[in-house]
Amino acid sequence: MKSLLFVPGSLRAASSSRATARALIARLEGKAETVTADTGVLPHYNADIADDPKVAAWIAQVAAADGVVFVTPEYNYSVPGVLKNAIDWASRPAYASVFKDKPCFIVSVSGGPLGGVRAQGHLKYILSGMLSRPFADKEILVTSANSKVEDGMLTDAAILDFAEESLTRFLGSL
């Protein structure tokens, strides 16, 4: 079975991104092994820090995964700083990091009607700068996400069906 590393872009307990990730992970039971990264434990990027065990564990998680699934909100038209910080840690050495050739899948989420589409575009651009492979498929945007969460899970069956179909194609490509 292929392994997927889920990387939520929000840290808050009631996060709709995390609720989306949980619902997608539930859909993948029996289809993929899933692990969820905890990017909130990472220090701010600092090239002088060379031996942080949490950074090493995060980089090892990316290296070990067959594919990385980002589920992120949009903050001020881009990706949240906590997510960019995690990506930056795993992006060295430039063009030869654990993200090089890594298949990546992106789901964006927002409280509003645009579903984080601008953050999704920025994230793809960032990933291309690391020579990783954002999955080319229909874009998955979760709109008005906060009103679609119950008991910590996204409840929008239509978008979950749509995302599950795309994730199944992603798994098939790994």
Please identify which residue in 4, 6, 62, 73 interacts with ligand FMN, judged by CB under 6 A. Answer: 73
Q: Which is nearer to ligand FMN, 130 or 145 (CB)?
A: 145
Query: Cβ distance 145 to 17 under 8 Å?
Result: yes
Q: What is the rounded radius of gyration, in angstroms, for the C-alpha atoms of the chain?
A: 15
Select the span of 30-38, 88-96, 98-106, 112-120 touching ligand FMN (CB under 6 A): 112-120
Q: CA 93 from chain center: how many Å?
A: 21
- Residues 142 and 162 sit within 8 Å (Cβ to Cβ): no
Residue among 56, 77, 152, 165 that touches ligand FMN (CB under 6 A): 77
Among 40, 43, 112, 129, binds ligand FMN (CB under 6 A): 112
Instruction: Name which of residues 126 to 165 contact ligand FMN (CB under 6 A).
Output: 145-146
Residues of the shown chain interacting with ligand FMN in the complex, contacts defined by CB under 6 A: 10, 12, 15-17, 73-77, 109-112, 114, 116, 145-146
